[in-house]
Amino acid sequence: MDDERIILDWQDVNHESGRWADRWHYNLALYSILHPDEDEILYLGKADGCTVRSRWNADDKHERVWSRIEDERDIFEHGFIVGEFRLPDGQRLSRQLVCDVESFLIHQIKPWANSRKAALKHCFIAKPCAEGMLDVIDANVGCAGVGFEDN
- Domain tally, the chain: 1
Residue of higher predicted confidence among 108 and 118: 108
Q: Mean pLDDT score of the chain, rounded to an integer? A: 77
**Pairing verdict, β 41-48 and 28-34:** antiparallel
Question: Can you tell me whether residue 34 is helix, strand or coil?
Answer: strand
Burial of residue 78 (CB within 10 Å: 0-12, 13-18, 19+) is middle
* pLDDT, tens digit, 9 for 90 and up, residues 1-47: 567 788 888 888 877 665 656 788 889 999 999 999 999 999 999 99
Residue 75 lies in a domain: yes
Domain range enclosing 54 = 10-117
Residue 135 lies in a domain: no
Residue 107 lies in a domain: yes
Give the domain CATH number at 93: 3.40.1440
* pLDDT, tens digit, 9 for 90 and up, residues 123-145: 444 444 444 444 554 444 433 33
